């Protein structure tokens, strides 16, 4: 007879954790989940710690392509450097490069050199990541990337250049920009930059031009010196304007017939002052009042604003389609406000040119908008004499050829000063005289013989009303 007592029955709970944890499948799943959570937490902590460490130890600087320093820094990055050392040799290799090519003809006047060109290749870092060592122990990570968006003005994609280096080396950035700016100045040394308006921004117009010497533009006696003196006085008086609360800007109007050297003088003046030239065509369709005001408040640094032929901007506008103009244009009131109004910028030198000053509204040329007006007129005896010396001074040592040339121009009445009633009063331009001298390079006798070609010619429409025909010398 068995004496074993029955095993007492323990009440079962709805959640029997002992059974679950004693289950090897469940226990293994819990372990794996715990390991996964720990790994995820550790990864997140590592990423957060790395990000915090990066923020504390590194500094980033981003440069947009629209900023002038963008091209400066690219040129600086392309400069050769001493990358000696095991680490530098393996880190500072640029594997992606971009090439910019500039070409020019070699002696285009010579038959033997016809078709030959000189090419100037400039290599710069391409898109991607690079590392440079500007000095021993200092490394800069460079990331040049192209965005998916484009500029509405040019259609070119937006680009950015990001420089990353240790926070302890952040002072090197100022040295980088200083060296890059100095390099750009050396590249543009002896040249004049010309900017033009492209929608909402300024853009270089072609390659930089060689500076035109101020002495190469011959104006009437005292005119050039008067304008240059006034501009220099204005540049030296910025503090005077600031102390008196006067807007620091000055406007000039050069007027006179075509071919007298108005634009050439402005270009030479920019070269003399080491300034650039920013041109706006007021007659261009799409230049609105708001756009003009924005452009004038964002002029490139150290630049002369040039508004050519302002008389033609608001007269004789022809309709381009049956409904009117094919696009918006600047209004006269918009121009006045941009030159001297609430929308007008400061620290500005503006030059306006016109062939017909009588067509200009008095409101445009009042003081404050135009502070100095100078007539650049027809060629005078003084100008012809100075130009002769510039072209033939090395040949005409005693000046006898110059006197014969000037006498010939007086016989033709081209100075308009003859008191002889039989001599017609005519005028010629310095552009015409320059063209005559350029045609007779080194041949002063040829220039004297061809002086009659300086007589202005007039044209009249032919019988059919199409085109024109040469009538006779004036």
Q: What is the pLDDT of residues 148-183, one digit of tens each?
A: 776 655 566 788 888 888 888 888 888 888 888 888
Q: Identify the bridge partners of residue 58 per DSSP, sorted by sequence position.
A: 166
Q: Are residues 244 and 339 in the same domain?
A: yes
Percentage of the chain with pLDDT > 90?
A: 24
Decide if pLDDT at 248 tops 70: yes
Q: Are residues 367 and 412 in the same domain?
A: no
Give CA separation, 297 vs 199, 201, 205, 215, 372, in Å: 14, 11, 19, 32, 22
Residue 198's Cβ-count burial label (10 Å; 0-12, 13-18, 19+) is: middle
Query: Cβ contacts of residue 239 below 8 Å, gap of 6+?
Result: none
Q: Are residues 281 and 361 in the same domain?
A: yes
Assess if residue 83 is contained within a domain.
yes
DSSP class of residue 74 equals H
Q: Which domain holds residue 453?
A: 381-460
Assess if residue 9 is contained within a domain.
no
> What does the pLDDT read at residue 313?
75
Assess if residue 305 is contained within a domain.
yes
Q: Looking at per-residue confidence, does 416 or 229 come out higher?
A: 229
pTM of the shown model: 0.72
Q: What are phi and psi of 135, to 5 degrees?
A: -155, 160
Give mean pLDDT, residues 450-474: 62
Assess if residue 199 is contained within a domain.
no
Q: Looking at per-residue confidence, does 105 or 219 come out higher?
A: 219
Q: Are residues 169 and 277 in the same domain?
A: no
> What does the pLDDT read at residue 375?
93
Any idea what the CATH number is for the domain that residue 322 is in?
A: 3.40.50.300
Q: Looking at per-residue confidence, does 262 or 28 come out higher?
A: 262
Q: Are residues 135 and 229 in the same domain?
A: no
Q: Are residues 256 and 357 in the same domain?
A: yes
Assess if residue 129 is contained within a domain.
yes
Would you say 444 and 389 are in contact if contact means Cβ atoms under 8 Å apart? no
Query: Cβ contacts of residue 220 below 8 Å, gap of 6+?
Result: 376, 377, 380, 382, 383
Q: Identify the bridge partners of residue 145 per DSSP, sorted by sequence position.
A: 160
Q: Identify the bridge partners of residue 117 per DSSP, sorted by sequence position.
A: 105
**Max mean pLDDT range (81-95, 134-148, 213-227):** 213-227
Assess if residue 21 is contained within a domain.
no
Decide if pLDDT at 439 tops 90: yes
Query: Cβ contacts of residue 124 below 8 Å, gap of 6+?
Result: 74, 75, 77, 78, 97, 98, 99, 100
Give the mean pLDDT of the chain: 79
Decide if pLDDT at 453 tops 60: yes
CA distance 440 to 392: 10
Q: Which of 282-296, 407-421, 438-452 has the lowest mean pLDDT?
A: 407-421
Domain count, the chain: 3
Q: Are residues 85 and 140 in the same domain?
A: yes
Q: Are residues 283 and 155 in the same domain?
A: no
Assess if residue 22 is contained within a domain.
no
Q: Which of 110-114, 286-290, 407-411 has the lowest mean pLDDT?
A: 110-114
CA distance 371 to 311: 18
Give mean pLDDT, residues 258-263: 90
Q: Are residues 365 and 257 in the same domain?
A: yes
Would you say 355 and 309 are in contact if contact means Cβ atoms under 8 Å apart? yes
CA distance 225 to 265: 11
Which has the closest alpha carbon to 63: 181, 155, 209? 181
Give mean pLDDT, residues 433-459: 88
> What does the pLDDT read at residue 390?
92
Assess if residue 471 is contained within a domain.
no
Q: Are residues 95 and 220 in the same domain?
A: no
Q: Are residues 306 and 352 in the same domain?
A: yes
* Model pLDDT for residues 70-114, shown as the tens digit of each residue: 888 888 888 877 777 777 777 777 777 777 776 666 655 555 555
Q: Are residues 362 and 387 in the same domain?
A: no
> What does the pLDDT read at residue 425?
73
Distance of CA 24 to the CA centre of its chain: 76
> What does the pLDDT read at residue 316?
47
Q: Identify the bridge partners of residue 254 per DSSP, sorted by sequence position.
A: 353, 374
CA distance 146 to 316: 45
């Amino acid at each position: 007879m068995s004496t074993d007592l029955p095993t007492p029955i323990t009440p079962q709970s709805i959640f029997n954790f002992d059974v679950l944890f004693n289950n090897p499948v469940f226990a293994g799943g819990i372990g794996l989940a715990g390991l996964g959570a720990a790994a995820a937490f550790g990864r997140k902590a590592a990423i957060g710690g790395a990000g915090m460490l990066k923020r504390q130890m590194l500094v980033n600087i981003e440069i947009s392509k629209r900023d002038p320093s963008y091209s400066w820094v690219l040129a600086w990055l392309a400069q050769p450097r001493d990358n000696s050392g095991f680490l530098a040799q393996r880190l500072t290799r640029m594997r992606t490069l971009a090439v910019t090519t500039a070409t020019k003809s070699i002696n285009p006047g010579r038959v033997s050199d016809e078709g030959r060109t000189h090419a100037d290749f400039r290599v710069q870092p391409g898109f991607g990541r690079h590392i440079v060592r500007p000095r021993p122990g200092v490394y800069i990570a460079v990331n040049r990337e192209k965005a998916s968006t484009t500029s509405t003005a040019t259609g070119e994609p937006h680009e950015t250049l990001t420089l990353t280096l240790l926070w302890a080396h952040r002072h090197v950035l100022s040295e980088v920009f200083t060296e890059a700016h100095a390099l750009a100045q050396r590249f543009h040394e002896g040249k004049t930059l010309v900017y033009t308006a492209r929608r909402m921004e300024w853009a270089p117009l072609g390659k930089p031009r060689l500076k035109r010497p101020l002495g190469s533009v011959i104006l009437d006696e005292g005119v050039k010196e008067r304008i240059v003196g006034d501009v220099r006085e204005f540049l030296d008086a910025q503090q005077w304007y600031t102390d008196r609360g006067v807007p620091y800007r000055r406007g000039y109007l050069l007027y006179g017939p075509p071919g007298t050297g108005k634009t050439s003088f402005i270009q030479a003046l920019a070269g003399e002052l080491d300034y650039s030239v920013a041109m706006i065509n007021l007659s261009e369709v799409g230049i609105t009042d708001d756009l003009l005001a924005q452009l004038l408040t964002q002029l490139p640094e150290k630049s002369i604003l040039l508004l050519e032929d302002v008389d033609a901007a608001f007269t004789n506008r022809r309709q381009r389609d049956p409904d009117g103009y094919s696009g918006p244009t600047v209004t006269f009131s918009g121009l006045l406000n941009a030159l001297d109004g609430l929308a007008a910028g400061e620290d500005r030198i503006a030059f306006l040119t016109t062939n017909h000053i009588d067509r200009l509204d008095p409101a445009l040329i009042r003081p404050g908008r135009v502070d100095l007006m100078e007539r650049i007129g027809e060629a005078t005896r003084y100008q012809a004499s100075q130009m002769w010396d510039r072209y033939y001074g090395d040949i005409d040592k005693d000046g006898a050829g110059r006197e014969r040339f000037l006498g010939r121009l007086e016989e033709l009445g081209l100075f308009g000063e003859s008191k002889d009633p039989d001599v017609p009063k005519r005028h010629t331009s310095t552009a015409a005289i320059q063209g005559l001298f350029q045609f007779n390079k080194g041949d002063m006798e040829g220039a004297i013989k061809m002086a009659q070609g300086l007589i202005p010619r007039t044209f009249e429409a032919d019988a059919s009303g199409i085109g024109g025909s040469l009538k006779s010398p004036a």
